[in-house]
Amino acid sequence: MPHELLTVSHRIARVTLHYPPANVLNHSVLKELDQVFGELEGDAYIRVVILTGSGKFFSAGADINELAHLNSSYEGSDFSARGHSLLNRIERFDKPVIAAINGTCVGGGLELALACHTRIAAAGISLGLPEIKLGLIPGFGGTQRLARIVGPSRATELILTGNSVTAEDALRMGLVNRVVPATDLVSEATALAGMIVARGRLATQAALRAIRAGLDSPLAEGLARESELFGELCETPDKKEGLQAFLEKRSPRFLDTEP
């Protein structure tokens, strides 16, 4: 992805999809996104990532021309696996990734948003998984993540009908965390990111790992992982600073929170 699409300020990285007119996720785009997230993963300065789109689309999903050339089981499975690789990377990122959904978000675009840790949508946009209308199913994780986020019943209806919902309906079903006017989308996402940056890096990282462990494992294993991570944090300077700041009635000065 060209570096002009990546901006960094106050430990917050903003990645903007800019592939007019619809920000489709073709093979080259998936590769570029993977490279960008690889760079962000290794950048100790970055604490939070905001992923958004340009124009009227967040992303319209897979490139219809590429889909038309998938004529074998192997080709289809390979294409799906490439999408899984990127979206799994985002979902398992040790830095929070906020999807700022600026426009139409369908197909693989919605699947990309589902892989982010939290989602803010602009009012009035539409979201959906229309693959069934093409004789397909979501192939970038949509059948798995949507059911986990909104429940199997709602996910089944959306996937089997291929119908889109408004941002407001998405909020009611828990598909997005909040809906804001389009003009406020970036500022709202940035404010949320800034709030997270003000928290301790170690605790933020541990929280993401604990949540992921609970989704990947039976409850008992998730609880065991939570205890392990909680115990590790008890030995950190951030824990000592957090408690001391609370007792002194001041804001904590965690490691890696300075601009």
Q: Among candidates 86, 93, 92, which has minimal Cα distance to 109?
A: 86
Q: What is the CA radius of gyration of the chain?
A: 19
Q: Among candidates 87, 61, 168, which has minimal Cα distance to 121?
A: 168
Tell how far CA 241 is from the center of its chain.
Answer: 30
Please say whether the dihedral angle defined by the alpha carbons of residues 253, 116, 94 and 203, taken in this order, is positive or negative: positive
Contacts of 247 (CB under 8 A, 6+ apart): none
The full DSSP string for 155-198 is HHHHHHH--EEEHHHHHHTTSSSEEE-GGGHHHHHHHHHHHHHT
What is the side-by-side order of every strand in the sheet holding 97-101?
6-9, 12-17, 48-53, 97-101, 118-122, 178-180
Integer Cα distance of 114 and 102 in angstroms: 14
For residue 89, the cross-strand partners are: none
Contact 116, 98 (CB under 8 A): yes
Catalytic residues: 111, 131
For residue 157, the cross-strand partners are: none
Q: Among candidates 84, 119, 92, which has minimal Cα distance to 211?
A: 92
Token pair of 63, please?
């490139």
